[in-house]
Structure 1
């Protein structure tokens, strides 16, 4: 690898718990010839005396220090130690984003996921992975389905007990747990139990939790397609109901990496289901009522998307300073002066806007915007079968007028 005057030559070497004996010769040679080796103290201790390079432990916090650290090593042969596969939830991503992928030479080691699946006999491609390293444990809730197999990347020795507690909270106490410590090392160890009866104290901080998901019994369960059961959301009545929500998510059309503004969040159902569509989707829920804003946060955590950003404030004023959205949904406050104008201005070319209305005043506003901007205007009507004496009849919900449009130029 070659570098510039500002950036050192950088080889990223994946290393396992087995240390030096587990490295391929290419990794050993990179470390022998390095003038400086950067890594976690635990990893640096795995290196033998024949690695004569200066050993530098990562600073904390790590990411803000990366550019300065490697600028200070300019002109030297530098190696970085990474756990397992550096590009799988590893330091490799951070280095690529901060220094540029073209400056890296990555020598991967088998990841902890590959090693765990080899021990368990689980197909890697059919095993879901959730990382709790530097992440909210509530994210695990979104991966829980009866019969599913999960691997949880642990943050520390306390993670297995936290995983067991979360499984119990969400009705998965019957799930089997296997904690795999120090995978690949001579001191490798496995602990077993269930979420309901996890008897083990904290062990080695280098561990991974395998979960064989088993629901405790029949429950109202989340699923993968839009339109989660209304009962899954804590609500004061301000909730886009299931069937309309499914149609709304179809109009919003989430795609990986896109950012949604959910304005008039209510119970947060639209933003939450948007985030559940793909792990890289992003969403900001704007809600003027602080009680409802707190409820949105609770719903997001309960349904496995704690990454939902909640902004408490009235739109359009609360929209100032937010990152540019790819998609905007307006579910409440449509008639607030200047709201639709602010949303339209915030969108870039090709951005999408979807708005739902239930009042005549809001419907008139959407009709006028439809006349000016085009798009699609539809009315959604849902009726539910209910008892009528000894018979059954239909009870009509309030119809919803929905306008959806893609921003194409500014012609009126």
Structure 2
């Protein structure tokens, strides 16, 4: 048991003339102090710890303390933890960059003066994650500063203009640690700016690249083929349009990823009608996909979308999203239920073609215990009731709304129903006259 003196922070040494020595937090080794500081928030490290003394100021800059810290410029709604800090003015952001030199993650949600980015590159050289606004202009000198002074960047989100020139693309390709590149569409006065996309230098560089989002750019199919072949052993996640140059389907290039691609998102469906079946069949050949998101609009031929999940199915798929799936039909859901046995999360939104029979097939998905989303779907509001009973742990997002139907003009007049729920024959008998309501609708 500890003595009273030990509880009070006083330590006695042996001997007749006992020497009294007081201990304090200053006697703690650096490793323990850093461990204590790791439990403090972004603001506490920056505004309190570093102002106590020189030693604490030095320890507060330790890279271990900043590995999970984020700074956001422009908005504060994204800062929902103690590890985040936000500021609205560029002046405040510059002060942060000069003080927190071990900062790793920065999100800039609006366009800023190039001077702010220059200060960021010069002071925060341990930066690993940088998210810039889509409209942020980046001169070649700014790109070079970023590459040379923040060479440890692993995740970069920037305007799709980042690769608009050969030398800028060459500069980006020198980021040896880059793992994730997300390119955002640039709009000027609400008009899409189409620029040449220089891709080959990126294919020859960035050896650790595992994820790329091409945004809404057009690119030469030859350059895309060169890029995909160069990254076939490293790239795991790809977000891209169904057709890159507006004429040919890119899916013919994807079979090289049959054994490596784990996440795929396809959007802006513009496949020619006679190529649709081949396109969805190609998706189904990517056997190791674990996450798949793809648009299935109305113009998809009947039965085509189901081909992505037949012929063996996607046995490893865990997450499937069919946003704006206006073209999703019963046979698509049936194929998913039978061809994706490990599916845990399913999202089908904005479709009007699903019947209760299709939802009953979902019961086959024994691992679907995370989420089912039916936002914007129309049909039988009770279609998912049985799923709730059979899968009590399943979270169902959204509600199925009753489908709006027009009158059946081919039905006999005495069987038509008006907007008030009364038959027209009843109204005729009451009024003694014929009431024309051929243009009416009911909910």
TM-score (norm 1): 0.30
Structure with a larger share of its residues in strand: 1
Q: Which has the higher contact order (CA 8 A, sep 6+)?
A: 1
Larger Cα-atom Rg: 2
TM-score (norm 2): 0.28
